[in-house]
Amino acid sequence: MKKFLLTLVSLFFLFTIGCQENSLIEPLTSEVAEKENFQEDTYLHGFIKLDGMLADPSRPFNCCLEIRGEIEYEHRIIYLDPDQPSSQYYVSLNLAIEAELLDPYSPTTTPWVINEISTDKIDVQPEQVQSLIKYFRVQGRDDTMFLVCKFIVTTDYVTLDGMWL
């Protein structure tokens, strides 16, 4: 009788352990909801207006050039394996710049053109900020001049943080 009672208690204990949910295999519901919300908006498209004065490094005495134009961007999150609980991804950033540099001191001078397209893959995680510096060649000049743009990239947006020649 003693062995029967011990066997019955052991079977009840094994049955209780076997019927519990295995939390190591199943993902937490808050993580799943956060991941689903994060995947909803993975594509952004917009324009950044370029309008201002930039210091001309090729001339002395703090001369400036005027810039007019825009940068079109496409910001897309690319998932490498969306089925993983902590999926890996990167931001694909396409930039297309169309701008002119004008000499305000010589209005008859033909404007210099900046017209380029670039694609970058940036490793960014949620709530993390990455900076991206791009060099765009100024066409039509005798010297080699670049428009340097510093962008701030996150999983939610892209902004122009600064530009110089």
Looking at per-residue confidence, does 30 or 101 come out higher? 101
- The rounded distance, in Å, linking the Cα atoms of 118 and 135 is 10
Average pLDDT for residues 82-93, to the nearest whole number? 76
The confidence score (pLDDT) of residue 93 equals 96
The confidence score (pLDDT) of residue 36 equals 47
Looking at per-residue confidence, does 1 or 154 come out higher? 154
Average pLDDT for residues 79-84, to the nearest whole number? 71
Residue 5 has pLDDT above 60, yes or no: yes
pLDDT band of residue 26 (cuts 50, 70, 90) is very low
The confidence score (pLDDT) of residue 135 equals 98
Query: Could you report the per-residue pLDDT of 108-124, keeping only the tens digit for each?
Result: 889 999 999 999 999 88
Contact 117, 95 (CB under 8 A): yes
Average pLDDT for residues 132-140, to the nearest whole number? 96
Which tokens belong to 37?
């919300």
Domain chopping of the chain, boundaries: 42-164
Query: Could you report the per-residue pLDDT of 66-77, keeping only the tens digit for each?
Result: 999 999 999 999
High-pLDDT (> 70) share of the chain, %: 74
H or E element at residue 3 = helix 2-18
Q: How far is CA 148 from CA 65, 102, 135, in A?
A: 14, 16, 5
